[in-house]
Structure 1
């Protein structure tokens, strides 16, 4: 259950009232889906936590109430439920507009095609500007081509009236530019995650290695490719096991993966952890983090979290990844959807051809310099400043 009541007229929050110390902050409302708590939701949560440092007070509206309300860390931010019956349930835009007026929000910040439609309507009704956050390329968000097409058309229609688009990587900015968005409406703000205090020293693994992966597991995350690469490496005599952290998107996909595990005879080599809020505790139990995504990323939060925790990364060359890591320096890059090449790149670390210690040190420095949660919030606040002419 979410922590805010489902409204009959206008949404009502049950989060604590704001203190006098925060009343001078400009008020922003983030309109999100909310059914999951994965990469994009982590961005939203961290913005809620960090934006007050830069003069902005965040609230949330969930149109698909679910895991976000239960898992978020920024629970000081008011959260409102505004359930949509379907993606074209635009009547909710009127309720969102009523909430914007009642709470005196100064910017509406949407994060998905579905919420962009509501933000567009509420912005029209209230004359409050809206911002759209581009977390991934909508046209390549899933393996369901018809759904991708519909979502992209919804997105293109809605963002025509957005004051600014916040893209999480330069590659996504290029993607939106290709869809006709002008440069003066595009801002690139890289994702960021908190620095880990006192990252412990770690010795180069010896003997068996633990590979790890973290995701909301669905077809575009490439878990099948990682399983095939693991089977290849084990046949070559490498002692490896996998720590798989995160839920499956559907029971059907979970069943498909477990059948593949059985066929590859990997049942005794995988620990299925499921969903957890404490991802950093998981990274400390991995010797090498692997992100085998096929497509559809923006700038993966799990890559940044692994860098911050001092766990070297092997990731595929998909949108945004190479803006965070440089192959052979702050991480290892493999070709997408190529199990043989992924196995080769993992093996290069296992055998010492790529220096695990050097990659770890370089990744820690790279994260601290450019990819903290505070840097992300500063960049988003700069977009608000421009819109509100602060």
Structure 2
């Protein structure tokens, strides 16, 4: 989605920074007295990391900060976000090393008075690092997942890891979304004195419907930006196993595919497993909670590369018991046997067994549901996430 926009000088960037807020949802001015933060994000999708950014935009004013956003890969974030009081600037990079854009970040900081530049991806971290050298703003970097294991593309992972490592050593503070990610940074010899853990969080819901355990037919749900690392193939094989064992289960898959090529691969597998009539492909939606309320059991079969999956927390908030792969982050949200279950990554038989244990009643569905609701409210709220992020800002700004 990168567009070949030329990089202007600081005195004429108004012609390039198109406010991407929908005309029906105009951005409001920051409340007087709030300190200002510019979040540099990709913005191409609206999935886990983008939900974190959106919720920070909504909640940070409670703690004295106003957030705006600059998207280097403009896309769904601008039109899908709920934080409509935040400005969104298009700052399209032509490629991941389009470093001239750092001058434009400086221009935004100088005009709008941002005191912190908060980056969320390797490419935005590079821009933030360079921009912070030319202005008075502090540089904060948010680590959402282990970059070295972020995808199946080894060269891309390596390049992103090199860029990210360079930027992390320059950042004033690093925010990780889980303790496991902090340990990952320690292995990269990042100074731990600048690392702060702020767990992801989601809003608690006041209108969670009262439910009994399903009787007979079960809807298994998955919400993701479907790409190889999310392991949907493992779930499809497990679904075929369960149906072969006589369980009345079907899959509700919510979210877009990363590429048409990958979508075709999955469609081929679905046909091979004879699951065409056992799956509802919902596609992208802004109302994730509505979809979660239609699920009896949520499964996230990630192979690797998670930080602290927002969708797991959203499922817990909606009262949907979770079975997730035992990868970074997910194991911090789920207490096996109490509020969910953990499955061995990429192990079809183990995932089949874990789902079967709930569907068959061996594991009490209602107990998982009630404990998950309580744990999300106590430990993973959007307010606690914003408060933790604001505390990092406070350290830098005094």
> TM-score per shorter chain, which class?
over 0.9
Secondary structure of 1:125's aligned partner: coil
Tell me the equivalent position of 1:13.
19
**TM-score normalised according to structure 2 size:** 0.95
Counterpart position of 2:48: 39
**Distance in 1 between residues matched to 2:316 and 2:225, nearest whole Å:** 19
Secondary structure of residue in 2 paired with 1:217: coil
Q: Which runs of 5+ in 2 are unaligned?
A: none
SS in 2 for 1:216: coil
Contact 2:35 2:114 in 1 (8 A): yes
1:365 aligned residue: 374
Asked if 1 retains the 8 angstrom alpha-carbon contact of 2:27 and 2:84, the reply is no
1:89 alignment counterpart: 98
Task: String of CA shifts for 1:276-334, please: whole Å, max 9, x gaps.
Answer: 00000001100000000000000000000000000110111011111111001010111
Hey, what does 1:122 align to over in structure 2?
A: 131
Q: Secondary structure at the match of 2:354?
A: helix
* SS of alignment partner, residue 183 of structure 2: helix
Local SS of the residue matching 2:342: strand
- Structure 2 partner of 1:382: 391
- The verdict on how the C-alpha distance between 1:174 and 1:90 changes in structure 2, with shifts beyond 3 A counting, is same
Give the 3-state SS of the residue equivalent to 1:160 in structure 2: helix
TM-score, length-scaled by structure 1: 0.97
1:348 Cα deviation after fit? 0.3
For 1:49-71, what per-residue CA distance to the aligned partner results, in whole angstroms no more than 9, with x for missing partners? 00000000000000000011111
Q: Secondary structure at the match of 1:126?
A: coil
CA distance in 2, matches of 1:39, 1:14: 20
- Which structure 1 residue ranges, 5 or more long, are not aligned? none
In the other structure, the counterpart of 2:331 is 322
Are 1:243 and 2:247 matched, yes or no? no
Question: What value does the CA root-mean-square deviation take over the aligned residues?
Answer: 1.6
Q: Partners of 1:19 and 1:340 in 2: how far apart? A: 54
Judge conservation of contact 1:6–1:82 (CA < 8 Å) in 2. no
Alignment of 1:16-165 (within 5 A): 16=26, 18-19=28-29, 22-165=31-174
Would you identify which runs of 4 or more consecutive aligned residues in structure 1 move more than 6 Å? none
Distance in 1, Cα, partners of 2:6 & 2:281: 34
Q: Which position in structure 1 is the counterpart of 2:313? A: 304
Instruction: For 2:373 and 2:108, locate their aligned partners in 1 and report how far apart those are by CA, in whole Å.
Output: 42
Determine the C-alpha separation between the residues in 1 that align with 2:28 and 2:365.
47
State the shift of 1:169 in Å: 0.3
Structure 1 residue 12: Cα displacement: 5.0
Question: 1:234–1:258: structure 2 CA closer, same or farther, 3 Å change rule?
Answer: same
